[in-house]
Structure 1
């Protein structure tokens, strides 16, 4: 079974984004995203991240996306 991640943004209107991850890849992707968390942080959420950290996270998210292809 695939996993679906959904998020929304109210910046400049209302946007909903969704991503599906194959059950074969979910654990590998979770490990990679976990590496993006700062010490003591439970999860990565862009709204709570500072500008410099956001600019470091974005390319890493692109790399994680490549893992699932």
Structure 2
């Protein structure tokens, strides 16, 4: 079994302080932390590579587009 390389998370060490109001239930779609993480190139690249390597997305050479494998 291949061990996951977590070096792509090193950028998170420099994350600025971000809000989460504890009086509201956690909503990932409204999370400042999730939005910041999704904006980081290293994290975006790792997620893309994982999706491509696990064949859950596929590139269509004819249309030059990526799509979900299903």
TM-score (norm 1): 0.29
Q: Which has the larger radius of gyration?
A: 2
Indicate the structure with greater strand content.
1
Higher relative contact order (CA 8 A, sep 6+): 1
TM-score, reference length from structure 2: 0.28
